[in-house]
Amino acid sequence: MTVTQDLSFVALISNASLLVQLVMALLLLVSIMSWTYIFHKMFAIRSARRQTEDFERAFWSGGNLNALYEEATSNRRRSGQSGALERIFESGMGEFIKAKATIGGKDANSMIDGARRAMRAAYQREMDALESHLAFLASVGSVSPYVGLFGTVWGIMNAFRGLANVQQATLASVAPGIAEALIATAIGLFAAIPAVVAFNRYSHDIDRLAIRFESFIEEFSNILQRQVR
């Protein structure tokens, strides 16, 4: 067997100790899950941003709020493809209509507070959905390098223990064992770096959406307040 064959990735992984192989397998599994969540979250945030822009355009076009509410309700019931901001609007407008029918405009502050609370509850649900799996990406980004380092340390320990049975230690005799161990660190970094980049990027995008949602809640509350005066 040649030196090149000994130092190929397949040979190094297959010749690694059982514990190091388990660490590599765990890191590969975590990396696959991480990439799955990265792509899923990318499409979800992109869709949420597009739907938010579409609804803001429709809302600020000056159309009738009751007609917009009926359209939002119809979209949700018919296809379930309504956007996050549209669902927030639907919650607030629906609560406002119910309160108006019950109270009859006698207590304007109660009607506005009810609509705002309904929108806040819907806002929290939408933010929970957008932030799902972000904690997993953060954990992968912070823990994976240390898991890989653990496999590396264990592999190097085994490599140096093996030198006890060799009369003359050379670089050729210790290099394969160290190379096997370093693969664990490489896999850990491969899992961690995309997770950290995705977590930072998606957290920024979600924060920007949250600001837009909160601004809409306040602006829509002001519009409702002017309607009940």
Residue 81 — φ and ψ, nearest 5°? -105, 15
The boundaries of the domain holding residue 16 are 3-227
- Alpha carbon distances (Å) from 78 to 72, 93, 125: 10, 19, 21
CB 53 within 8 A of CB 213: no
User: Hey, what are 184's tokens?
Assistant: 């664990």
80-113 tens-digit pLDDT: 677 899 999 999 999 988 888 887 656 778 888 9
- Alpha helices by DSSP H, listed for 60-133, are 65-78, 84-103, 108-130
Tally of domains within the chain = 1
pLDDT digits (tens, 9 = 90+) for 137-190: 999 999 999 999 888 888 888 777 766 666 665 666 666 677 777 888 889 999
Q: What is the pLDDT of residue 3?
A: 44
Q: Report the SS3 class of residue 104.
A: coil
Instruction: Give residue-wise pLDDT tens across range 115-145.
Output: 999 999 999 999 999 999 999 999 999 999 9
pTM, two decimals, is: 0.82
Unique residue bearing structure tokens 């380092």: 149
The greatest distance separating any two alpha carbons of the chain, rounded to the nearest whole angstrom, comes to: 96
Percent with pLDDT over 90 in the chain: 48
